[in-house]
Structure 1
């Protein structure tokens, strides 16, 4: 071995160790992250990461490369089981992320100059159409889906009116600040009348849909679902596209392949099959516990004087909690300084404009119990009110030490 090789290996190992030590000493409340169980991770195949499995259209057996005869079996099973779990007619796992899946949908379904309605920043929208248009990838006319800031919900009546009068090519619903399910049926009916495609971006709530806490979008009239597979769904990082019919997906496929993706990272496919099995066995319990923990934590924080975004429906019916603060960047920095990881968000003016987003999906996965909620709320409250308290990092670490066992998986039985 050369000295350069040894130095590189040592540096990599030390850098990874620093990261792993740091993350073990934190409480992860980032709403977009989660972890795979060992049961699923064991099927994340590095060997398949060396292989190509390109195919055109929806026929997974129409491969461009040879050497795929058994890989096709794996991919077919993953797609069949995904369709079953999400009540879909067709599924596709080639998108490398939810963002890529959404970009493929927009680029494949829209022509230059088409009108797209999507949620704006204060509603938590991912604003994919705006980003693609701003980057000059496709020139679109983009307008906001009407949003009721006080209720923190899509304004259904105003949205239906806008669809019927403006007749957009595409309506994108879904948010990174999802608190409550969006009623889709009436919006879907309006889209059907105007020949508008209704796309649900379910990246943050895919696990809640799989676990029965949020309605199935395709059952309620959405044409397409795009999502990532690693947030509440707690699988390997990647994207998924689900459609009601072959025709709904076929229209966007040229943009996906070969426009955005050729080789689609096959190493995750066996893990997705294991993940789908895990969700069939434990998904309802996991999703229900996520929501119960989020509601309890929001209530506990409110009792301690930390204001949350709260409507007639309560503070949340998802895994997400939104705190109202004066300076969101300062607040998330204070929390990280003591070992609590969160994210800054922009809120509607009705809720003060600045917020922090918390997600309980990972701490729930690692065993957060109802009896621990008050202590977690107290730690968060103390960190926001007095971040110079030198006892806080050790309190965070001690609390995190109680969350070391993976739940809602086969190996936990």
Structure 2
């Protein structure tokens, strides 16, 4: 386990209780398999920026127009992050201040919509996010959401049905994006539908944006009016969000982020985003992004051949959604067995009935350096755990595999 993941001697002396918590989390990450599709390991450089002196800086506003003094270096950090994001994704404008992907989506709504407007988005039972109309979320309380789904047989988006819903409900905005759809959205089809009914097109690209950066997925930037994303997941940056848009929406987006929905920017996180954008612009990241997809396809096929039902029959991205029902167990119970065996992942809605399946991803294990052989081994361990194998033995095998690929080196 690398020293970078360990609490410093200063923290251990000052707060041994919290030092123990951080050390425990470092051990958990090191000796188990991180298969949550929304997680990854940042680089050492990103962690350094997160722990930098910019964590102390209050910087409400934007570069050159802050509400606090002493922002000369904060301004430099944000300008670098913005320019790198624009160059990386080919966008005319980027806002890197959103604290999360959800904050980015809600800011997009604030910029383009008014309370009570109709929005067409993927329904939550089919993989829509909380910000796509959940009644527990501000989106579902402030706007009238209409959900589109997927074909029950194929698990794929039915674009004719999306078009029918758009013609019927005439939404002010259409959202394309999901937390568990393993295929690439057809952004051009969504654009045509949005244009036909006079709607804004918002792409929630929180999951695929890292693949877009690495050239392993199509970009929504040429098609969407606004693109919302996270900077963690496959992009491998700090936890946070960003918004990309054309020049015509730049001022509206910026005002929606600050001062409408957020206060002071987290400048240490913005600096870390800048580092991650710089890393994502390298050939090494391009190679990484394509390996993430290759690993996901290998793992999906390994699980399929061992009896799990794979939604849509496979994946084009980093994530896999699987139904363990053919093995005689439901998603939540399977997740519990996998957790006990050291394989950490999530459950998700399945595109039929009211069952919950499993959602997993390959971003983190690919960062660790794992490849096709390890994906096959994971599929074997995974199935053994789900079918009630010897948990202690499987846990030992998982730890051996994980410790052989330390995310920060020895």
Is the pair's TM-score, using the shorter chain for normalization, greater than 0.5? yes
User: What's the counterpart of residue 166 of structure 1?
Assistant: 169
Q: Which residue of 2 aligns with 1:242?
A: 244
For structure 1, the residue ranges without an aligned partner over 5 or more in a row are none
Is the 1:171–1:199 Cα contact (8 Å) retained in structure 2? yes
Shift of 1:325: 2.1
Distance in 2 (CA, whole Å) between partners of 1:12 and 1:163 is 51
CA distance in structure 2 between the partners assigned to 1:177 and 1:137 by the alignment: 20
Indicate if the aligned counterparts of 1:123 and 1:149 stay in contact, CA closer than 8 A.
no
CA deviation after TM superposition for structure 1 residue 370, in Å: 1.6
The equivalent residue for 1:375 is: 377
8 Å CA contact 2:106–2:139 kept in 1: the answer is no
Q: Deviations over 1:66-92 (max 9, x none)?
A: 211232122112111101111111000
Matched, 1:31 2:37: yes
Give the aligned partner of residue 324 of structure 1.
323
Q: Which has the higher helix share?
A: 2
CA deviations over 1:149-193 (Å, ceiling 9, x no partner):
333232112212322342211111111113111111132123124
Three-state SS of the structure 1 residue aligned to 2:133 is: helix
Structure 2: runs of 5+ lacking an equivalent: 1-10
CA–CA distance in 1 between the matches of 2:34 and 2:287? 21
Match of 2:396 in 1: 394
| Larger displacement relative to structure 2 (9-18 or 198-207) | 9-18
Q: Is the 8 A contact 1:40 1:274 kept in 2?
A: yes
Count of aligned pairs between the two proteins:
395
User: Pairwise mapping of residues 286-301 of structure 1 onto structure 2 (< 5 A)?
Assistant: 286-301=288-303
Corresponding position: 1:361 with 2:363 = yes
Q: Which residue of 2 aligns with 1:336?
A: 339
| Residue 46, structure 1, aligned to residue 52, structure 2 | yes
Q: Name 1:278's counterpart in structure 2.
A: 279
Question: What are the Cα deviations for residues 230-282 of structure 1, in whole angstroms up to 9, with x where unaligned?
Answer: 11111011110000x22224334433211221111000222222212211112
Match of 2:87 in 1: 84
CA deviation map 1:262-312 (0-9, x unaligned): 11100022222221221111221111000000101111122222322234x
8 Å contact 1:87–1:216 — kept in the other structure?
Answer: no
- Find 1:181's aligned residue among 180, 184, 197: 184
Please list the CA deviations of residues 358-393 of structure 1 after superposition, one character each: whole Å capped at 9, or x if unmatched: 111000000102222221111111011124443111
Q: How many angstroms apart in 1 are the aligned matches of 2:90 and 2:226?
A: 11
Cα shift readout 1:294-345 (whole Å, capped 9, x = no counterpart): 101111122222322234xxx0011111111232111101000111101011
Normalising by structure 2, we get a TM-score of 0.90
> When the two structures are superposed, what TM-score results if normalisation uses the length of structure 1?
0.89
Cα deviation for residue 146 of structure 1 reads 4.2
Q: 1:132 to 1:87 in 2, by over 3 A?
A: farther
RMSD in angstroms over aligned alpha carbons? 2.3
Residue pair 1:379, 1:392 contacting (<8 A) in 2 also: yes
> CA shift at 1:129, angstroms?
4.3
Answer whether contact 2:95 2:254 (CA < 8 A) is retained.
no
8 Å Cα contact 1:120-1:127 kept in structure 2: no
Query: What's the CA shift string for 1:202-253, capped at 9, x where partnerless?
Result: 111111111111111022x11111111011111011110000x222243344
Task: Report the counterpart of residue 6 of structure 2 in structure 1.
Answer: none
Q: Quick one: distance in 1 between partners of 2:224 and 2:194? A: 9
Return the alpha-carbon distance in structure 2 between the equivalents of residues 159 and 79 of structure 1. Answer: 34
| 1:18 pairs with 2:24 | yes
1:345 is paired with a residue whose SS is: strand
